Amino acid sequence: MALRKQSSRAISIAILLSLLLLTASSSDDDLDDLEELLAIDEEEEKRGSVAQVKPSEADVLSRAQRIVLELTNENVQRVIDGNELVLLLGYAPWCPRSAELMPRFAEAATVLREMGSKVVMAKLDADRHAKAASSLGIKGFPTLLLFVNGSAQSYTGGFTGEEIVIWTRKKTGAPVLRLTSIAEAEEFLQSHQIFVIGFFDHFEFTTEYLIYLFSRGVEYEEFLKAATTDNEIQFVEANAFNIAKVLFPDIGAEKQFIGLVKNESEKFEKFKVCEGRILQFVDYNKFPLLTTLTELNSARVYSSPIKTQIFIFAEAGDIEQLRLSLQDVARKFKSKIMFVYVDSAEDNLAKPFLTLLGLESDHPIVAAFDNRDGSKYVLETDLTPQNLEEFCSGLLHGTLSQYYKSEPKPDVSGLIEKVVSKTFDSSVLESSENVFLEVYTPWCIDCDATSKQIEKLAKHFEGVDNLKFGRYDASLNENPNLQINNYPTLLFYPAGDKFNPIKLSKKSSLKELVSFINEKVKIEDGRGAMTVDQEKKDEL
C-alpha cells in the first residue's frame, strides 16, 4: 500500500483515536471480534474506493475505537498469551505524560495496521485495572512493553508516532524498509525526517517469493546488524542505483553505498568504511549542527557518544538571529563537540541547568559540559562567533579553567564571615588566621540549630585576633578544595596547616566546641573555657 495513503489515513484516524484512548472501552473486547470487525472495515473501504465514496465520520470513528485493543483484569493474560506480538501501553487517565503519548501511540497503531504488521496494539488503564498492571510489572506511567510470545521487553525507542513505528518494526523482524521503485522512494522521502540509506549492487529481487537473495558481504551484514540494533532511525535499502539516487543525490558511482540523510543544513553524510562501524557513524552524525533540546529528545542528547557538549541558553528571538553563525562554528567542531540550544523560557528544560550553574537567564549564556568527568565551563565574554570559536578551541585543548558556581563576593563582613566559592581560597586557605567554617544548605534539617550554636560560639570568642568564623552555603557555591556531601559540616582550619582541616561532630555541645578552640588556638587575653553558668546563659 502506498506510503502516502498510509500517512493520510493514519493522521485522520489518530486524531479521532487520541480523543478516545483515555476513556474506557467495553471489557468484553475480544481479539477475534477485533480482527473480524477490522476485516469488515477493510472490505467496506475497498468497495468505497471503487465507488469513490468517502467514509463517513462515524465510520472512521468506529474503526478508530477498534484499532487499539482495551485490556482489562479479565482479558489481559488471554490477549498476551494468545498472540505472538503485542505492544502494550500502560497509562493512567490523570497522568499528563500519558495524555501526551496517547495520540502518538494512536498514530503508530494506525500506521502499523496499514503496513500489514501483525503486532497487536493494546492499551491498559493501569489505574483502573491495578491487578493486571501489577501482574505485568507496570509501576510508572506511561509504560510501553512489547510482548513476544508472552515474554516482555521494555520499550527503548523514541516517543513520536514515527519513532514508535520504527522501533516496533525493528523489534518484530523488519529492521530495514526496502524500496523497489522511484515512486516509493519519493513518497518515503516526503514522510521521513532522518534515515539511513543503503545501496548494495549484489542482490536479486524475486517477486515470486518476495524475498531478497544477497551475496553476504561484510558491509551488508554490518548494515543489517546496525539496522536491527539501532532503536531510533529508519534504515532503508534501495535495490537500484536510480532509486538510491532519489534519496541521496550525491551517491556517486559506488556499487555499495551507505549514507545518512537529515532534514537540516548538513543534510547528507556519507559513510566511509575507514571511519569505523555504521552505528558509530550514525550516533556521531544523527544530530543537527545545532540541536534544539526538547522533552522528546533530551534522553538521546544526554546519552550522545559526543561527551563534550556546549549548551546555549537564550530566548527564541535571540537564537534565530545567531543560528547561522552558530552553525558555522559548530561545523568546525563537528563530531568533536555537540552544540545544543535550550530555550531559556522553557523552565522545565533550562532551569535545572541554570540552577546547576548558579546563573540567571537574563542574557544568552554559553556553558560547556564534559560528561566524562562532570566538569563545567562557562563563556565569560559576550556570545559572538569569534568568542565561541575560541571557547571551543580552548575546551578541546584543555586550556580553559573549570567553572564553579559562586555567589557574588560579599560587600560587608560580620561576626561570622560569609564565605563564597570566589573567596574560599583567600578567606580560608590563604588566611593567616585559624578558621572555624560552618558548611550548610538551606534545605538541611539540622543546619538551623547548628547555625544558632555557632553564632553563640563566635560571640564568645569575639575579638580574638587569630581566630575567625565563616559560613559557607554549599547549595549556591562550589569549590574543588571543599568537597562536602553531608550537612551541616563543621571544619577547623589551623593557621599552620590549612590543607588538613579538622572535622568536628555536629553533635558537639557548646562547651565541647569552646574547649576544642581553647586547645587549638593561643588566646592572648587569657579567655578560658566556658563555664557551666556561661553555657546556660548563652543557651538562653
Is 115:148 a contact under the CB 8 Å cutoff? no
Active site includes 392?
no
- Active-site option among 31, 38, 444, 495: 444
Is 16:61 a contact under the CB 8 Å cutoff? yes
Is 145:155 a contact under the CB 8 Å cutoff? yes
Residue 340's H or E segment, with its range, is strand 338-343
Residue environment code for 93-103, b if the CB has 16+ CB neighbours within 10 A, otherwise e: eebeebbebbb
Residues 6+ apart with CB under 8 A from 443: 475
Active site includes 447?
yes
Lateral strand order in the sheet of 434-440: 416-419, 467-473, 434-440, 489-493, 502-504
Q: What is the DSSP string of 401-422?
A: PPP---PPPPS---SEEEE-HH
Residue 328, C-alpha cell as written in the block: 558555522
Residues 6+ apart with CB under 8 A from 190: 4
Burial class (CB in 10 A: 0-12, 13-18, 19+), 233: buried
Ranges of beta strands (E only) in 160-281 are 176-179, 194-200, 203-206, 211-214, 234-238, 256-262, 268-270
Ranges of beta strands (E only) in 58-106 are 69-71, 85-91
Distances (CA, A) of 251 to 203, 231, 290, 484, 526: 18, 25, 25, 56, 89
Is 264:226 a contact under the CB 8 Å cutoff? no
Query: Do you know the residue count of the chain?
Result: 540
The Cα–Cα gap between 108 and 101 comes to: 11
Q: Of 163, 160, 123, whose CA–CA distance to 143 is shortest?
A: 123
Residue 170, C-alpha cell as written in the block: 525493528
Greatest extent of the chain over all pairs of C-alpha atoms, in Å: 109
Q: Determine the angle formed by the axes of helices 96-114 and 3-20, rounding to 10 degrees.
A: 140
- Active-site option among 95, 182, 429, 484: 95
Active site includes 274?
no
Residue 124's H or E segment, with its range, is strand 120-125
The Cα–Cα gap between 211 and 230 comes to: 23
- Active-site option among 301, 337, 395, 447: 447
The residues annotated with a catalytic role in the active site are 95, 444, 447
